[in-house]
Structure 1
């Protein structure tokens, strides 16, 4: 980060204190940290300028809402344990700058899922975590749409038309039918497909889908499947 960019961040910031942010989030869940004070009072001492303040507040509220839902729906989950959970605090520190710098609600939702997965005890190796966070930052919504189609082609409306056969060709040619229907240009599709191959999320040979039954195949690598699990809502993976 350049010296000029650093000036946009307050000297005393929630970004530099993961534990404090964790306590603030958890204090909003009844019974976890009584007496911690209202969110508005906690934010008053921080001088975060717009638009960082607005984005940080949205991210903060999204997280505490999702954590509250997790505490209500996940059996055996005790939010009080998170206050001293170093992996949870690290997850907040690592995802917060990424959440603040994006205008995309969908990207913030994926980052929130990362935090929730850690809170639920669904962690990955630090090497994979670093790579996956980088991919969340790098990828567009179109990247994630292609990953979803590759993971479950048969669930795609456009490809269901071919469920009884008459569908063959390379993986890219097949999924392109759905992506084109989604309004993604062929040029953009090619760029994204190469990106996914280079990151080893999908096989690099562009393998063939030969026949109707193959449309249900998962066309991601183990790494690609692990990535989607990493960014998915833990409540959908129970």
Structure 2
């Protein structure tokens, strides 16, 4: 891993590298500048761990480029994927809790360019600019909404519909047309066996809802049709 202080200048659009991050995008540029001045950039190889369960949450982790998985491992050693994040998304849950430690691992699925905003820099901003707290509350509400969506997905009893709903969820969050997840990652995300997921993906493809592209990629061909199928009892 290599790391260096961020020397992030304004771009032609007069924006910082954090300006497109949902957590920071509505903050005044002057405040963004204060955060950027204290940020650190680093590069991480595929398969490396950004954090491990039990590590202290010392900063906001911003995925500038690349993809990571957030995963936890149960007592039997089975991994459960909680989320997959990509360019422009941030990891900051629990940063303001008294017991601010990670309860999951964050692993690079591909080479990752990371920007870190120290926890004390963020708390300093909140103390000096209390108006930003309202935005933070809105962000927490959004995160709760995302968590509810995941709970709804896992509550779907029919495995094929659960997988279909998960693919719709991932497709809506992808940067391009393809959902890039390995079979075992999908299985871990929806709490199903790999062979069960494979069988139902094959049927979803035969029914014309998706197309498996190979190399851990698939494409939702008709969101409206798949959504209608998922919502059918």
Q: Where on the TM-score scale, by shorter chain, does this alignment land: which range? A: under 0.3
Q: TM-score, normalised on structure 2?
A: 0.25
Richer in strand (by share)? 2
TM-score (norm 1): 0.24
Q: Give the structure with higher Rg (CA).
A: 1
